[in-house]
């Protein structure tokens, strides 16, 4: 009898927790806040070239929707935003070789906001791009 009770209460709490989790969005509050702040900065600094949906433009400016590129180069992203980029890269199966200017006036937290927005909205990530990651990425340049 006691065993039965245990099983029932266990399955009820399992059900409850599944319900609660599925009601939550799949990103944390912090990530959502970073992304909201990032969107404003993205519109100011990035949208002209990369587009409102991160679609890029022809082979002039690469799209920001290539999740594989974003994941493989995650550690470099902050440095690209701040210091720009030279030379050819391949994104979404196309080659891009226009230089990208850096935006030196951005602070670490602002870069974290922008990259959280980009990687969770255009890419398929669900994690915050943290200030620590930004710091780590910028190390090579300081």
Partner 1 sequence: MKSYLKFNFIALAISVFLISCSSNGNEKKLPYIGESTVNEKTVDGQTVTDTIPYAIPSFSFLNQDSVMITDKTFENKIFIANFFFTNCPSICPTMQRNLLQVYEKYKDDDRVAFLSHSIDFKYDSPAVLKSYAEKLGVTDDRWQFVMGSKKDIYGMADSYFVYTKEDETAPGGYDHQGYFMLIDKNKHIRGAYDGTLIDQIDLLLADMEVLLKEQ
Q: Could you tell me the two tokens for 29?
A: 């509050």
Smallest separation (angstroms) from partner 1 to the CB of 100: 10
92 binds partner 1 (CB under 8 A): no
- For residues 50 and 63, is the Cβ–Cβ distance under 8 A? yes
Maximum CA extent, the chain:
72
* Runs of H (alpha helix) within the chain: 2-23, 29-45, 47-50, 67-72, 77-83, 108-117, 131-138
What x/- string results for residues 26 through 55 when contact with partner 1 is judged by CB under 8 A? Answer: ---------------------xxx-x----
Residues 50-89 vs partner 1: string with x where CB under 8 A?
-x-----xxxxx----------------------------
Interface residues with partner 1 (CB under 8 A) are 47-49, 51, 57-61, 98, 101
């Amino acid at each position: 009898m006691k065993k039965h009770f245990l099983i029932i209460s266990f399955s009820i709490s399992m059900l409850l927790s599944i319900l609660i989790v599925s009601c939550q969005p799949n990103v944390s509050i912090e990530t959502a806040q970073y992304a909201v702040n990032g969107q404003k900065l993205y519109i100011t600094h990035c949208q002209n070239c990369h587009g409102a949906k991160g679609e890029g433009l022809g082979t002039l400016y690469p799209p920001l929707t290539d999740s594989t590129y974003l994941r493989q180069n995650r550690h470099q992203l902050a440095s690209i935003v701040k210091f720009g980029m030279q030379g050819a890269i391949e994104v979404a199966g196309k080659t891009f070789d226009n230089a990208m200017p850096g935006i030196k006036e951005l602070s670490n937290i602002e870069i974290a906001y922008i990259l959280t927005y980009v990687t969770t909205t255009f890419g398929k990530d669900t994690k915050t791009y943290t200030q620590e990651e930004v710091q780590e990425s910028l190390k090579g340049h300081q």
